[in-house]
């Protein structure tokens, strides 16, 4: 068994939830925050059999889009003036950042 941890953009979370249910995959959605942008994203925990990893990755790929996002200027207040960026910077936020981990034991009570 594997645990798939997928960090995705909030905009895709409803569609991904629906698609996982449609394909009979069970998932838990957690509200999370990106360390760099400090804005909300969504983390899915999906427990699956080894042979289900590939189909779940396909569902994630089909439902999560990569987008450009503007990062607000970083304030010099309390920081180093050398690192001050006075203009917004555009970053590419991935459709999904996915970790796949082995599960030693799985129980439901």
Give the residue closest to ligand 2BA by C-beta. Answer: 34
CA–CA distance, 6 with 101 (Å, rounded to integer): 11
Q: Is 29 in the site for ligand 2BA (CB under 6 A)?
A: no
Q: Is 47 in the site for ligand 2BA (CB under 6 A)?
A: no
Q: Is 92 in the site for ligand 2BA (CB under 6 A)?
A: yes
CA–CA distance, 29 with 9 (Å, rounded to integer): 12
Q: Is 37 in the site for ligand 2BA (CB under 6 A)?
A: yes
Task: Report the Cα 13 to chain-centroid distance in Å.
Answer: 9
Return the residue of 4, 19, 20, 41 that touches ligand 2BA, per CB under 6 A: 41
Task: Report the Cα 40 to chain-centroid distance in Å.
Answer: 10
Instruction: Please identify, among the stretches 11-19, 22-30, 48-56, 91-99, the one whose residues bind ligand 2BA according to the rule CB under 6 A.
Output: 91-99
* Alpha-carbon distances, residue 45 vs 6, 42, 68, 77, 90 (angstroms): 7, 10, 25, 37, 29
Q: Interface residues with ligand 2BA (CB under 6 A)?
A: 7, 34-37, 41, 91-94, 97
């Amino acid at each position: 068994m594997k645990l798939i941890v997928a960090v995705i953009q909030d905009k895709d979370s409803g569609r991904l939830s629906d698609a996982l249910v449609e394909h009979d995959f069970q998932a838990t959605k957690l509200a999370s925050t990106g360390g760099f942008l400090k804005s909300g994203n969504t983390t899915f925990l999906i427990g699956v059999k080894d042979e289900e990893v590939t189909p779940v990755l396909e569902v994630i790929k089909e439902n999560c889009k990569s987008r450009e996002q503007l990062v607000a200027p970083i304030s010099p207040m309390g920081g180093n003036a050398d690192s001050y960026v006075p203009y917004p910077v555009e970053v590419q936020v991935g459709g999904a950042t996915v970790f796949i981990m082995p599960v030693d034991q799985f129980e439901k009570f």
